A and B are shown apart, each in its own frame.
Chain A
Amino acid sequence: MVGDAISHAVLPGIVIAFLISGSRGNFVMLAGAAAIGVLTTILIEILHKKANLQEDASIGVTFTSLFAFGVILISSFTGQVDLDQECVLYGEIAYVPLDPILLGNGTNIGPRALWISGTVLLIIIIALVKGYKGLALTTFNADYAKALGISTAFWHFGFMGLVSLTTVVSFESVGAILVVALLIAPPATAYLLTESLKKMLWLTALLGILTAVGGYYLALILDGSIAGAMATFAGVLFAGAWGWTKVTRRTKVIEDGGVVNPG
């Protein structure tokens, strides 16, 4: 749910960065938005620890406030911000090819969003490969990591920074809420299907691609929003995987003569 909160909370950051820099999707903006994502987690922490507010409420209060603030900013500067409310909610992935990067001599080297998300993908792959052990350890057993002298705060905030980065990049393509579907659904599906972290990561990547492609064709067939169709398709994949684990477990139980493995 913190991913959900971050995806909403970066909105004012994006609007402010847009007002200052006057354009969308430059790298300064990405860095700024990532910082705001980390700030969100800190705000949640402050409400939770300092102001004694229970955690679920801290999350809710933080992200709704920041999102409302972002919408108000958009309304206040309608003339200057090329962001409308619908775009915020479900993106406009169909327009991505209409915004290409042109080199000095006018050569079209492809859509800007493609370049940016490609770069972020690269960053994330490098971070996951390099930080695999640290992320696995601090996620599985933070106390043990601390006992080994490893800084859990570094890994926590580093990870939240990555989440923010992903969110901001996805923002204009799929919008604030559907990015949550992409953050949660493929890994949740993979989590049901495998019990190895490495396999889970590979499977998630595969499911992510499948979601994008499947969603695109679903949108074509139904003539609707691509982002919405992607979320729908991700949900269908999850439902399929869930059903499949239920069925296989049941048959397994029968084969084993009714002995169920714990967990």
Chain B
Amino acid sequence: MDIRPEKTAIEVHNLTASYNRKPVLWDIDFSLPQGQLIGIVGPNGSGKTTLLRNMMGLMKPDSGYVNMFGKKLDEVRERVSYVPQRETVDWDFPANVMDVVMMGRYRKSNLFKRLTKKDKDIATEALEKVNMLPYANRQISQLSGGQQQRVFIARSLAQQADLYLMDEPFVGVDAATEESILTLLSEMKKEGKTVVIVHHDLQTAYEYFDWIVLLNTRLVASGPKQEVFETELLQEAYGGRLTVLSRIGDLMAKKDFPMRESEFKEKEGPGDEGAS
């Protein structure tokens, strides 16, 4: 199932991506609506994070493309914000909470200039929104997992974007953090922001999100949660891998096989539609 929204925030078109030459995402094709809370849901190893990294241009897909607000990411970077997984950085880095949140104000254009008073105000406000203002001068090495997550989200809020992509923000956080993130999400929704969240827990997905993308190497479903939460679809997403698919993936990695023929043939035109 692939339901198309009226107003599109993100369009993923025929996206195929591999990791260490092993295909992880096969022809993913869907569109996400504006102004909703969206969960990208699937079991471990289903390619959720890879999908998000491809959306943010952190990985090059083998084929396909991603558009945001109908444009290439580079044209709308200011409107898009990314929250990486908490474990991907070294929290022993010598910085305090405010230093990290201020990074949300960094731009290509002001990297060599001083940040302004206004930047500081925006960062302060962002910290307040995640209930972390009392910790503004705390060293990041002294934060709990949940607090680290909230700092990351505050940094992202400081970007004042319209579209937020978060990678597993609910993993390993305490109840207070979860509560505070959820409140924040509903506020963001009221303000018309779009939030896309990679989430592995099926139990809570229905409760948290409006729109759900079910993913397991291929797209199983994308649509409003009421329509996507069907036993058949859920079973398909969580009911184990497709053996043929994973065997082909192994074979391709072993034989250095290209994901796409066009990897070699540049001059050739588009495929032979209708010839078969």
Interface residues in chain A, defined as those with a beta carbon under 8 Å from any beta carbon in chain B:
130-131, 133-134, 136-137, 139-141, 143-150, 191, 194-197, 199-200, 261-263
Residues of B within 8 A of A262 (CB): 142-144
Task: Describe A's contact surface by its main secondary structure.
Answer: helix
Instruction: For residue B159, give the distance in angstroms from its CB to the closest CB of chain A.
Output: 8
Chain A positions within 8 Å of B91 at CB level: 263
A101 to B103, CA, bound (A): 45
Closest 7 CB pairs of A and B: A147-B82, A263-B141, A195-B139, A149-B77, A197-B94, A141-B89, A140-B93
A139 to B106, CA, bound (A): 14
Interface size of B in residues (CB-CB distance below 8 Å): 34
How far is B94's CA from A262's CA once the two chains are assembled, in angstroms?
15
- Residues of chain B within 8 A of A261, CB atoms compared: 142
Q: A133-B111, A134-B111 are in contact. Are A144 and B142 (CB under 8 A)?
A: no
CA distance A166 to B74 in the complex (A): 35
Any A CB within 8 A of the CB of B276: no
B141, A150: Cβ atoms under 8 Å? no
Could you show 18 A-B contacts with beta carbons less than 8 Å apart?
A: A131-B112, A133-B112, A134-B111, A136-B99, A137-B106, A139-B93, A140-B95, A141-B88, A141-B89, A143-B58, A144-B155, A146-B58, A147-B56, A147-B80, A148-B159, A150-B111, A196-B96, A263-B91
A196:B144 contact, CB within 8 angstroms: no
Which residues of the other chain, A, contact B139 by a CB distance below 8 angstroms?
Answer: 195-196
Selected contact of B88 from candidates A143, A146, A150, CB within 8 Å: A143
Q: Using A143-B58, A144-B84 as known contacts, say yes or no to A195 and B94 having CB atoms under 8 A apart.
A: yes
- Chain B facing A: main interface SS: loop
Decide: B99 and A197 in contact? CB cutoff 8 A.
yes
**A196/B94 in contact, CB under 8 A:** yes
Most buried by B among A141, A144, A149, A195: A144
Contact between chains at B94 and A191 (CB < 8 Å): yes
Output the least CB separation between B100 and chain A (Å).
7
- Closest chain A CB from B103 CB (angstroms): 5
Q: Mark B49-60, 1 if CB is under 8 A from A, else 0.
A: 000010011100
On whether A146 and B57 interact (CB within 8 A), knowing A134-B111, A262-B142, A263-B141, the answer reads yes
A146 to B80, CA, bound (A): 12
Q: A149 vs B89: C-alpha distance in the bound complex, in angstroms?
A: 18
Bound-state CA distance A194–B144 (Å) is 19
Q: How many Å lie between the Cα of A147 and that of B159 in the bound state?
A: 11
A147-B56, A147-B58 given; A140·B92 CB < 8 A: no
Is B108 an interface residue when CB atoms closer than 8 A count as contact?
yes
Q: List residues of chain A with CB within 8 A of the CB of B74.
A: 149
Supplied contacts A143-B84, A148-B77, A197-B95, 9 more A-B pairs, CB within 8 Å: A133-B106, A140-B89, A140-B93, A140-B95, A144-B84, A150-B111, A195-B96, A196-B95, A263-B142
Chain B positions within 8 Å of A263 at CB level: 91-92, 141-142
